[in-house]
Amino acid sequence: MNSYSPVTPEIVEALRGLLGADAVSVAQAEIELHARDQSHHAAHAAEVVIYPTTAQGVADVLKLANERRIPVTPWGVGTGLEGNSIPVCGGILMSFERMNKIVALHADDFQVTVQPGIGHKDLNAELARFGLFFPPDPGANATVGGMLANNAAGIRTVKYGASKDNVLRMQVALADGRLITVGSRSIKQASGYDLLHLIVGSEGTLGIITEATLKLVPVPEHMSAVVAHFPTVEAAVQTVVAVRGSGLDPAALEFIDATHAKMLREAEGVDLKDYPTLFMEFHAALPATLETGLEAVREICAEMGVIDFRATTDPGERKRIWHARHHSYEIMVRSHPDQQFFIMDVAVPISAYPELIAFVGEVTRRDGATAYMIGHAGDGNVHVEFPYASPESFERSMRLNGEIVMKALALGGTATGEHGVGIGKAKYMPYEHGAALDVMRVIKDSLDPNGILNPGKIFPTG
């Protein structure tokens, strides 16, 4: 274990000297605002909160922190779900709130260069004027820096990929205060080691992203939506496989289980049946493509024994159809007043999805736990949402979490499809990676020998 030094008044002064007095705060209120994310993980107080405005400022702080052995935890906007940005070892909390600008739009290249603190929804609002968008969408208005650091994904990954697939170039501040550039604005690059993808998803433990050039895609001119109910999970998943194999290139392919569909209907009267349900979305440059595509999807669903099939290319109707999916979390929360939620995340190869879903149903029934399943089925990714109101029900959901993770690993999957490792998944890393975890550790130690960068994450402690 690394040992760290406290943030002394002298260090606070030094930070003020580097960043300006108004960029450094030890106020209790600000420390508390940056002590926990949106998950169940316990709050931890940093010793100082800072708001750099330039890459050089970030680098200068790291150099100081590295020399003085002070932990630095980067912070986007706190929407993490595994404690990824909780400052568990205290030290410096580095907020990117003031580095939230668009640096340059390269419209002809379908690229934009941004500071890491910009929210992806805010970015997309700006880009809409140019008919472009940055596709990864984890739901909340996460910052681009946080999305890249955690390789966030979301609903549209099945077509557009995760965050790691939508970034070309980054500027990164290393633990020792060097600023490096990784990747290239050239789409193709076969030049040396892919440090870009080493840093993406490393949760701020190898370096801190200070600027990123993102890939953009044209806003689709035409979209369609489908909701389909199936007699069994198997039928629903076979439909997922068939739609992916058809070449129809869905932009979303989402699953909710019968329990979740029932809850959504009962809570808000949304027009769903109590069956395993798929939501789909298709994007196309031409309306004719959508119409013929929907016919093909209808045929596939019919072959798989669909119980109910609704499809539309009308924008208003599309929103209605997707309402339940887009608002499923809020509806769930509203329908369980006085309860908190623990949301877990695993992913498996698509062929193992029915077995994973069946397993979750089995163990939650066995333990009498309430659980809702909602998944990015096109990616083999599922979230199990556990409401809890007591320490006992929380403990039970944690136990079930562990069982489901180990099942996903046994099925050739991963402990985390899109929420990252953070604190919560660290203990499963040896099971998922084996000796490769030692290689990760070697790389960590070689780039951050004093362990100042977001300590307590990814690697199991103790």
Please, which of residues 162-201 interact with its own copies by CB under 8 A? 162, 164-165, 174, 178-182, 184-195, 197-198, 200-201
Q: Which of 9, 245, 316, 368 binds its own copies (CB under 8 A)?
A: 245
Q: How far is the CB of 361 from its own copies (least distance, A)?
A: 20
Question: Which stretch in 29-37, 315-323, 346-354, 396-404 sits in contact with its own copies by CB under 8 A?
Answer: 346-354
| Neighbour count for residue 308 (Cβ, 10 Å) | 14
Contact between 421 and its own copies (CB under 8 A)?
A: yes
Judged by beta carbon, residue 336 or residue 376, the one nearer its own copies is 376
Judged by beta carbon, residue 21 or residue 302, the one nearer its own copies is 302
Rg (CA), the chain: 23
Contact between 360 and its own copies (CB under 8 A)?
A: no
Contact between 355 and its own copies (CB under 8 A)?
A: no
Q: Which of 247, 269, 337, 391 binds its own copies (CB under 8 A)?
A: 247
Contact between 314 and its own copies (CB under 8 A)?
A: no
Contact 326, 339 (CB under 8 A): no
Q: Which of 3, 28, 390, 446 binds its own copies (CB under 8 A)?
A: 446
Judged by beta carbon, residue 8 or residue 351, the one nearer its own copies is 351
Contact between 151 and its own copies (CB under 8 A)?
A: yes
Contact between 129 and its own copies (CB under 8 A)?
A: no
| Neighbour count for residue 39 (Cβ, 10 Å) | 21
Strand partners, 277: 229, 256
Judged by beta carbon, residue 163 or residue 393, the one nearer its own copies is 163
Contact between 63 and its own copies (CB under 8 A)?
A: no
- 221 half-sphere exposure, CB direction, 13 A CA radius: 5
Distances (CA, A) of 130 to 77, 422, 428: 26, 36, 43
Looking up tokens 């002590």 gives 35
Q: How far is the CB of 268 from its own copies (least distance, A)?
A: 29
- Residues in 389-408 at the binding interface with its own copies, rule: CB under 8 A: 408
Judged by beta carbon, residue 47 or residue 254, the one nearer its own copies is 254
Q: Which of 10, 22, 108, 392 binds its own copies (CB under 8 A)?
A: 108
Q: How far is the CB of 174 from its own copies (least distance, A)?
A: 7
Looking up tokens 């809570």 gives 267
Q: How far is the CB of 277 from its own copies (least distance, A)?
A: 21
Q: Which of 56, 110, 259, 341 binds its own copies (CB under 8 A)?
A: 110
Q: How far is the CB of 66 from its own copies (least distance, A)?
A: 15
